[in-house]
Amino acid sequence: MQEFLANPAVQGGVAPLAIALVLSLGLRPLKLEGLSLVAAFIGSVYLVSGLDFMPLTSTRKLVVLAIAAPVVGLLVDFAFKPTRIGAAFIAIAAAAGALWAFWPVLSHKPGNMPWLLGGSAVLALAFLAGFALLRLAEDSVRAGAAALALGLGAGICSVLSASVLYGTYGIAVAAGAGGYLLPQMILGRKSQGGASFALTFAITGGLIAAGAMTLAQLPWYCVLVLALVPIGAILPAPRNAPVWLQAVLVSIYSFIIAGAACVLAWPSSQQP
Amino acid sequence: MLKASIVGLAALALPLAAAADVENYVIDPTHTVPYFETDHLGFATMRGRFDRASGKFSIDHAAKTGSLEIVVDTSTVSTGDTERGSRPRTRDEHLRSADFFNTAEFPQMTFKSSAVKFAGDNPDTVQGSLTLLGVTKPLTLKIIRWKCGPDIRTQGKRYQCGGNATGSFKRSDFGMKYGLPTAIGDEVSLWMSFYGFRQ
């Protein structure tokens, strides 16, 4: 059993997919299925590196922010009506979260690298959080597709950047999104969705990319391209088409942008 | 009165005399090389090293005490795999990432002694603490070779001590859990050469 759970494919794929599948079905009556993603991610983190928080490293701060994101999302879903000002405030908070997690490391980089890398992280997180909240929170299929592509893109880019740990985390986000999307595709009915899911995938996916840039070797411009992945999920798809077809179509759009980030990450990796 | 003054002066001079027995050394960074080895995939033992280390040690032969402080630049980790070839990253680049030594966030690994035990006239074990990835745990280094004398490279003008030390620790104790439990071993063995120049 221990060997099974130690397998990276289980840690980043099978386990988060199973957790998200079970929870997205189980929490559906409570309209809380958006929490399945954070549960899938935390399950993967537990298997990969354990849930230790001291010392509070950048990677552990990422996990803290990933846990905080759906809490904020739940508040938005149940206590506040999403507004542009509210989204702007959350976008700023997400950017500040990125700085909290990575600035202590970035500030020691030479020359203008702290500003370039820090600026990329801030822009990416602010855009991801704001865009996800305003444009994706109300459509669970589009949000799921964006999460799938962002997680997979960030995961592959992280592996190309020499961090299998961050790669596993990214793929776990994608697997969790898969577990959230699959019941909708099979049942033919969209989920409640909401900010709890949208903020989780946007902030977690963005931080994984920013972490691979800060702690491994992902180029800064790949982080910015990955931040554009959710745009693919709002491209037109036939409204009357079955849910599964809508999911496939918007996933493909999002994958194209995520693929571009991976292509950009690959050539740079050839330069020692 | 005079006798009391002499006794008082002697008492004051005692710590100075004791301090005079302590020899202080600065680590020679070019000949102080920490090596490590661990299991890989259950098939073979892989070795690596850190190319840059600094620090200092002191030794008091009369009192048979001493101290040691070593700072290792973790970004200099090397397993000899520096060519990417068709791969996106080398093993050394992977070792520097957050999966292992996380050198961007933790550029240094340090060892500070708390007690030095002697066997005869030479130091035998150094008890202390290793700080890696922000976590500090006890570590004992065994001195397996030790010699002091004039440095022939300076025609004897410089006095040095050198030797080898070994130790081991579990990397999971420091939060380095990537590849556990089957891909990459938890137990890490250390072997280091060290030199220090007397100040």
The b-or-e profile of B144-155 (16+ CB within 10 A means b, else e) is eebebeebeeee
Q: What is the pLDDT of residue B2?
A: 47
Distances (CA, A) of A181 to A175, B2, B22: 10, 95, 70
pLDDT at residue B145 greater than cutoff 70: yes
Q: How far is A99 from chain B (nearest CA, A)?
A: 14
| A188-232 confidence digits (pLDDT tens) | 999 887 899 999 999 999 999 999 999 999 999 999 999 999 999
Q: Is A165 on the interface with B (CB under 8 A)?
A: yes
| A10-30 confidence digits (pLDDT tens) | 999 999 999 999 999 999 988
A74-83, B32-41, B181-190: the lowest-pLDDT one: A74-83
What sign results for the dihedral spanned by CA atoms A75, A79, A83, A84?
negative
Helix locations, A132-227, DSSP H: 140-160, 164-187, 195-215, 220-227
- Average confidence score pLDDT of chain B: 90
Distances (CA, A) of B17 to A232, A259, B10, B158: 77, 72, 10, 23
Tokens 């700085």 sit on residue: A99
Q: What is the C-alpha to C-alpha distance for residues B26 and B21, in angstroms, rounded to an integer?
A: 17
| A162-196 confidence digits (pLDDT tens) | 899 999 999 999 999 999 999 999 999 998 878 99
Q: What is the pLDDT of residue B3?
A: 53
Q: Assign B138 to helix, strand or coil.
A: strand
- List B166's β-bridge partners, or say none: B142, B191
Categorize the per-residue pLDDT at A270 as very low, low, confident or very high, splitting at 50, 70 and 90.
low
The burial of B20, by beta-carbon neighbours within 10 Å (0-12 exposed, 13-18 middle, 19 or more buried), is given as exposed
Q: What is the pLDDT of residue B113?
A: 97
| B61-101 confidence digits (pLDDT tens) | 999 999 999 999 999 999 999 888 888 889 999 999 999 99
Tokens of A127: 């855009």
What sign results for the dihedral spanned by CA atoms A208, A210, A213, A218?
positive
Nearest to A150 by CA among A119, A123, A122, A129: A129
Q: Do B88 and A3 touch (CB under 8 A)?
A: no
Categorize the per-residue pLDDT at A58 as very low, low, confident or very high, splitting at 50, 70 and 90.
very high
- Per domain, the residue ranges of chain B are 22-198
pTM comes to: 0.89
Domain B22-198 has CATH 1.10.1740.10: no
Q: Assign A266 to helix, strand or coil.
A: helix
Q: Do B175 and A49 touch (CB under 8 A)?
A: yes
Q: CA B122, B127, B128: angle at the middle one, nearest 5? A: 135
Q: What is the pLDDT of residue B83?
A: 86
Categorize the per-residue pLDDT at B156 as very low, low, confident or very high, splitting at 50, 70 and 90.
confident
* Residues of chain B contacting residue A266, judged by C-beta atoms under 8 Å apart: 88
Say if residues A11 and A48 touch (Cβ distance below 8 Å): yes
Q: What is the C-alpha to C-alpha distance for residues A141 and A152, in angstroms, rounded to an integer?
A: 16
| A152-170 confidence digits (pLDDT tens) | 999 999 999 989 999 999 9
Q: Do B178 and A49 touch (CB under 8 A)?
A: yes
Q: Give the residue, B9 or B134, on which the prediction is more confident.
A: B134
| DSSP string across A12-61 | IIIHHHHHHHHHHHHSGGGT-GGGHHHHHHHHHHHHHH-S--SS--HHHH
> Which residues of chain B have a Cβ shorter than 8 Å from any chain A Cβ?
82-84, 88-90, 93-94, 96-99, 102, 104-105, 107, 133-135, 175, 177-178, 180-183
Pairing state between β B33-40 and B44-50: antiparallel
Max CA pair span of chain B = 86
Q: What is the C-alpha to C-alpha distance for residues A28 and B128, in angstroms, rounded to an integer?
A: 54
Categorize the per-residue pLDDT at B181 as very low, low, confident or very high, splitting at 50, 70 and 90.
confident
Q: What is the pLDDT of residue B5?
A: 54
pLDDT at residue B17 greater than cutoff 50: no
- Per domain, the residue ranges of chain A are 2-269
| Mean pLDDT calculated for residue range B168-196 | 94
Q: What is the pLDDT of residue B14?
A: 47
Q: Do B82 and A269 touch (CB under 8 A)?
A: no
* Residues of chain A contacting residue B98, judged by C-beta atoms under 8 Å apart: 58-59, 163, 165-166, 211, 215-216
Q: Is A163 on the interface with B (CB under 8 A)?
A: yes
